[in-house]
Amino acid sequence: MDSRQPTCLWFYQLVMGFLFILSPLLSYGQTKTQKTKITKVYNISKIDKMVSKLENRFFQKQKEISYLAQKNGWQLKEELPNGSTIELLDIGEDGTPIYYTTFYDHVSTTSRASSLYKDGLLRLGITGKGMQVGVWDAGIVRKTHVEFDSRVTVADNSTKIDAHPTMVMGTLIASGKKEKAKGVAYEATGITSDWSRDKIEAAKAAANGLLLSNHSYGIITDRVPDWYFGSYLRVTKDWDDLMYNAPYYLMVTAAGNAQKSGDNEQPISEAVGKGYDMLLGFATCKNGITVAAAEAKIDKNGALTKASVAAYSSFGPVDDGRIKPDIAGRGTDVYATYSNSDTSYNSSTGTSMATPGITGSMLLLQQYNQRLYGSFVKAATLKGLVLHTADDVATTGPDYQMGWGVMNTKKAAEVLVNKEYRSLIKEESLSQGETYTITVTIPEGEQLSASISWTDPASTFINRDIVNNRQAALVNDLDIRVTQNYNTYYPWKLSATNATKAATKGDNLVDTFERIDIDNASGEYTITVTHKGKLTNETQNFSLLVSGAAITECSLIAPSNIGIKGYEDKVSLQWDAVPDALYEIQYKEISTIDWNTKYTNENVLEISDLELGIAYETRMRTFCNENVASEFGLISSFTFGGLTTVLDEILEPLSLENNVAPSISVYPNPSTDIIQLDGDKEADSHFQIISTSGLEVDNGKVSQEGISVSNLSSGMYILVIDTSKGMSTTKFYKD
């Protein structure tokens, strides 16, 4: 399959520019319609069968646990001296009692999520509003805490309020009544559940459209035999199976705090006492994200200036050599909501606290993609985006301490907004025997990064008693290569038997994410995706991510050398062309404040709705993709006089310091009948609705009852609001 396409294809796939205007404060979330849309591609029948099977196994395990605990004198639940909770929740196939534990000790995120806020570096106004996240933990959240504003729902029948999930949920969504405790996605909603039926409940939630769940717990390390460490267990397989059948759902889990425990006396790396090979249970999943804790410093511009792995954070690898943990975030001295009262707070340290920082950041990225493109990305794309844009730490390439590095939400958001301009994000499918290729051009001196990410079928292999079993859990082995002339570039990989060694480049046989980095790239490169052997189910979906490329020849410069010619009943504007660009042209009478707007992909435009003898002004800007535009250029002023139209002068752009256009957002969005405005609207505001063809489909005065959209066809529209302070535009969807 040859996927090479014209560099300006993004424009030809769009209808006349209406997609390109966005209000910086517009918030989209997971509506019922959105949830239905993503679950349509799920294998619901398999998920239902999986839930039934898990429920039967759960009840059988409960009987087995009760019997063996009584027989052997095992404690069912304990509070450890360090404040952690442990609970007997499973019996291994070898009869080992498996205790789950929370990963923290009593004691603002380094992921750059704050860059997406209204007052952040990118000034996007992304807050998590309308989005939902799930938290499974040792108990349930104190949902009445003042920081949650009735945004937390108990999703099971649990009644035991616990400090650990309360702190986790606070790190995720606390509103910031106490600024120091503000959550990453501080306007999102959360569901809270006890961990005893986590797989069953998460499967049901995923089938109903849940995108992300946080699991800041895992198996305690001092009560299992050495062969458990790094193994692909039944619990690992179950979670991988769920994510494969619900491809928009992503589980995020903590790596654990056992780096210095010494509990694994036979690490695969032969690095006894160095903290390696300490991951257990679902922390070794192929399809989920496992989070390490980092000590990091970020400067005022969002750049990572210093980072190292936290002294407690558990290291990989897993037995087959996969890169685990995947990513790192801050986990030390995190201040968050506490469960003692509705107004209590506390500080905590551990991978438990690093994990919700990552989960919340990914929730914001999903919301941002929905704002930009009207849809959510698959879990493989989201995971791939996070690993593709991570800040490398210490050594070049990934490692078994912090995976691909410290999460950089700002960089991930920039890759999203630059899609089809300076980056590529494609969700593709590879069928048996197929080859996918695409050619990209890299400006001289840029770093080319190309990645593939996929959600792999659960492995049929389960380790049962072999220490350091090297059998790969990978089922569908995809490969990415980049070629230029006679040079072939390979992805990063690590070696489990050399866990302390730096990453190398070569054929990666184990990971579901592969990344190629080429420094100081220049010219044309071909990216190829292939597969080995026979694909399970004859096909494999994958996501391709590319950054550093010049996808189009467009430049973010405003149109220049504007010429204006008058005719009997119209004016013709002409300017120097910018390759692969879309142009926005605004014009109005000089004596008014309301701009008229038109779009074209030609470097000429005719305007006919003008009056003789009236002075007008016009300004233009260039769009290089749906969401990336230049500033407006200089204002041209002219008087329309039919054949004698005169270009008066070129004016500097108007100063808006004392006349700032209002920020407007729309709700509900999508809507079926009425849309309301949320923002600095005025009583005499007027509206204009522009269709996908660039035509006005409605206009009028904004009433207290809102704006009726019941007569519009389903699809996306631009809403333009004119007030005495200027014009504001936003995008909305009609169901």
Q: Give me the pLDDT at residue 287, please.
A: 98
More confident position, 583 or 612:
583
Residues 294 and 408 in one domain: yes
Q: Is residue 140 domain-resident?
A: yes
State how far the Cα of 63 lies from the Cα of 667, in Å rounded to an integer: 50
Burial class (CB in 10 A: 0-12, 13-18, 19+), 45: exposed
Q: How confident is the model at residue 7 (pLDDT cuts 50, 70, 90)?
A: very low
Q: Give me the pLDDT at residue 658, please.
A: 37
Q: Tell me the one-letter amino acid at 717.
A: Y
Residues 359 and 492 in one domain: no
Q: Give me the pLDDT at residue 726, please.
A: 65
Residues 571 and 645 in one domain: yes
Q: Is residue 19 domain-resident?
A: no
Residues 461 and 523 in one domain: yes
Q: Is residue 513 domain-resident?
A: yes
Burial class (CB in 10 A: 0-12, 13-18, 19+), 4: exposed
Does 148 have pLDDT greater than 90?
yes
Q: Give me the pLDDT at residue 80, please.
A: 81
pTM over 0.75: yes
Q: Tell me the one-letter amino acid at 270.
A: E
Give the tens place of pLDDT for each residue, 649-688: 555 543 333 334 456 778 887 788 888 887 656 667 888 8
Q: Which two tokens stand for residue 478?
A: 């995809």
Domain end, chosen from 600, 629, 651, is at 651
Residues 367 and 237 in one domain: yes
One-character DSSP codes across 341-367 = STT-EEEEESHHHHHHHHHHHHHHHHH
How wide is the angle at C-alpha 532 spanned by C-alphas 534 and 490, nearest 5°? 165
Q: How confident is the model at residue 626 (pLDDT cuts 50, 70, 90)?
A: confident
Residues 703 and 570 in one domain: no
Give the tens place of pLDDT for each residue, 458-495: 999 999 999 999 999 999 999 999 999 999 999 999 99
Angle between helices 351-373 and 409-417 (to 10 degrees): 20
Per-residue pLDDT, averaged over 118-133, amounts to 89
Residues 96 and 178 in one domain: yes
Q: Look at the alpha carbons of 403, 408, 412, 414 in this order and tell me if their dihedral is positive or negative.
A: negative
**How many domains are there within the chain?**
4
Q: Is residue 503 domain-resident?
A: yes
Residues 153 and 169 in one domain: yes
What residues does 583 pair with on adjacent strands?
Answer: 600, 622
Residues 443 and 505 in one domain: yes
Q: Is residue 657 domain-resident?
A: no
Q: Is residue 102 domain-resident?
A: yes
State the DSSP H helix or E strand holding residue 589, giving kind and residue range, or none if neither.
strand 582-589
What residues does 637 pair with on adjacent strands?
Answer: 617, 649
Q: Give me the pLDDT at residue 565, please.
A: 87
Give the tens place of pLDDT for each residue, 326-365: 999 988 889 999 999 999 999 999 999 999 999 999 999 9
Q: What is the CATH number of the domain that holds 191?
A: 3.40.50.200
Give the tens place of pLDDT for each residue, 375-401: 999 999 999 999 999 999 877 899 999
Residues 429 and 372 in one domain: no
Q: Is residue 26 domain-resident?
A: no
State the DSSP H helix or E strand holding residue 241, giving kind and residue range, or none if neither.
helix 234-245
Q: What is the CATH number of the domain that holds 687?
A: 2.60.40.10
How far CA 617 is from CA of 525, 584, 587, 593, in Å, comes to 45, 14, 6, 11
Q: What is the CATH number of the domain that holds 434?
A: 2.60.120.380
Does 19 have pLDDT greater than 50?
no
Q: Which of 568, 566, 573, 627 is nearest to 600 (CA)?
A: 573
Range of the domain at 701: 664-734
Q: Give me the pLDDT at residue 16, please.
A: 35
Q: Give me the pLDDT at residue 452, please.
A: 98
Q: What is the DSSP letter of 149?
A: T
Is the peptide bond prior to 247 cis by the omega test (within 30 degrees of 0)? Answer: no
Residues 408 and 494 in one domain: no
Q: Which of 665, 109, 141 is nearest to 367 (CA)?
A: 665
Domain end, chosen from 481, 512, 547, is at 547
Q: Which of 421, 418, 414 is nearest to 553 (CA)?
A: 421
More confident position, 657 or 111:
111
Q: Is residue 685 domain-resident?
A: yes
Domain end, chosen from 618, 651, 684, is at 651
Residues 52 and 176 in one domain: yes
